[in-house]
């Protein structure tokens, strides 16, 4: 049977309050209240924004969804995990302060920000999944312990995973530090002799993994966290992955970690994709005012994480009239590889029925 994916049109031109109202309308129309029970500790997974990036989903846009959870008398709390790279989300203290500045806390939404992976990103639970790459995955412990999850993802392109939405929000965004390292382990770009020594990659590398000598840039594989930022910023095409092998391992591992996040929470997680302000890089990229790569589409929601991502990809490609790899200028990437692996490991279905909500 096809998974139901609910869809409502909206866009940045509507303004944050209308976007919030439409997300709430979608929540009601899709019957997502059934995922949440009175007294649940409900994790509301978001990306609170990583300065200077300013194209993430802003907190007022999710206010209506939070109000729904409060009306259902759950105990919702905003969650996001510590990043591998040094920045404002590198540990729970800095992350909570940033979340509050961006309205993702008690002052903005009336609920607290709580780092589910502890102060340093090391509070984790090993979840057995028996995947193709991972027999067990390492997930933020309070994500595992809470009773239900409202996952709110921003759909964007990504230089390695090709598309970043629900699966990446779950797999990477809910993993502990060790879980993230495992996913990135396969991704180590290399610098070719096309390097002009411009220094852009050095300036943007969040892990201080790049050095420059008289000939070209070099990447320290022990420091590199595989984020792909250097690949994205190099204007000379001098930093490359072995796309044929490495990015596919990352995509598979993200899907397997996502499986670990939802294991034991069948029908207790609702997945929302905000397909507005779609940019070529994810919200972690330290670039401001990234341009949209496709017109705003709206919000999609489902209880099936595979179906909601598949439907989002299909709508973006239909709206743009081309494939996401072509939109990103990376023909060798394929977002479906991750989706299909997620389906193979039992996370959900690529067979969906899109139901538009007026």
Judged by the rule CB under 6 A, the positions of this chain that interact with ligand SF4 are 189, 191, 195-201, 205, 207, 209-210, 216-217, 219, 224-230, 233-234, 236, 238-239
CB of 323 to ligand SF4, least distance (A): 24
Is the Cβ–Cβ distance between 10 and 358 less than 8 Å? Answer: no
CB of 121 to ligand SF4, least distance (A): 16
Is the Cβ–Cβ distance between 134 and 261 less than 8 Å? Answer: no
Nearer to ligand SF4 (CB atom), residue 230 or residue 315: 230
Nearer to ligand SF4 (CB atom), residue 186 or residue 209: 209
Between the CA of residue 187 and those of 40, 92, 109, 172, 327, what are the distances in Å?
37, 26, 36, 14, 22
d(C-alpha 65, C-alpha 44), whole Å: 9
d(C-alpha 97, C-alpha 80), whole Å: 12
CB of 213 to ligand SF4, least distance (A): 11
d(C-alpha 293, C-alpha 315), whole Å: 13
CB of 228 to ligand SF4, least distance (A): 5
d(C-alpha 7, C-alpha 23), whole Å: 9
Nearer to ligand SF4 (CB atom), residue 200 or residue 280: 200
H-type alpha helices, the chain: 16-29, 63-71, 92-101, 106-109, 141-145, 166-171, 177-184, 200-204, 229-233, 246-262, 305-320, 324-328, 335-344
Nearer to ligand SF4 (CB atom), residue 210 or residue 316: 210
Strand 190-191 relative to strand 156-158, pairing:
unpaired
Nearer to ligand SF4 (CB atom), residue 161 or residue 219: 219
d(C-alpha 97, C-alpha 336), whole Å: 36
Nearer to ligand SF4 (CB atom), residue 235 or residue 358: 235
CB of 193 to ligand SF4, least distance (A): 10
CB of 221 to ligand SF4, least distance (A): 8
């Amino acid at each position: 049977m096809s998974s139901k994916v609910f869809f409502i049109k909206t866009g940045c031109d509507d303004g944050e309050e209308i976007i919030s109202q439409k997300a709430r309308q979608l929540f009601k129309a899709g019957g997502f209240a059934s995922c949440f029970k009175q007294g649940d500790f409900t994790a509301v997974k978001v990306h609170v924004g990583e300065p200077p990036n300013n194209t993430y989903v802003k907190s007022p846009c999710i206010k209506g969804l939070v109000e729904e959870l409060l009306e259902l008398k759950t105990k919702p709390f905003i969650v996001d995990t510590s990043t591998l790279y040094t920045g404002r989300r590198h540990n729970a203290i800095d992350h909570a302060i940033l979340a509050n500045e961006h309205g993702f806390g008690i002052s903005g939404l009336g609920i607290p920000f709580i780092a589910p992976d502890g102060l340093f990103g090391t509070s984790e639970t090993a979840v057995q999944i028996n995947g193709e790459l991972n027999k067990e995955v390492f997930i933020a412990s309070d994500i595992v312990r809470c009773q239900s999850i409202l996952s709110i993802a921003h759909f964007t392109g990504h230089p390695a995973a090709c598309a970043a939405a629900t699966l990446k929000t779950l797999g990477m965004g809910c993993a502990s530090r060790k879980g993230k390292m495992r996913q990135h382990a396969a991704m180590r770009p290399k610098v070719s002799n096309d390097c002009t020594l411009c220094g852009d990659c050095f300036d943007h590398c969040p892990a201080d993994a790049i050095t420059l000598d008289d000939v070209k840039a070099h990447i320290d594989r022990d420091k590199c966290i595989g984020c792909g930022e250097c690949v994205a910023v190099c204007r000379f095409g001098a930093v490359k992955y072995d796309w044929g092998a490495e990015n596919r391992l990352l995509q598979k591992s993200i899907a397997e970690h996502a499986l670990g996040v939802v294991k034991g929470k069948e029908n207790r997680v609702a997945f929302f994709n905000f397909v507005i302000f779609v940019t070529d890089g994810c919200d972690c990229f330290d670039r401001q005012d990234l341009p949209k790569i496709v017109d705003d589409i709206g919000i999609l929601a489902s209880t099936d994480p595979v179906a909601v991502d598949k439907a989002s990809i299909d709508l973006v490609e239909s709206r743009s009239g081309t494939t996401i790899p072509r939109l990103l200028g990376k023909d060798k990437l394929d977002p479906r590889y991750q989706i299909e692996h997620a389906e193979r490991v039992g996370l959900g279905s690529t067979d969906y029925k899109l139901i538009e909500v007026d």
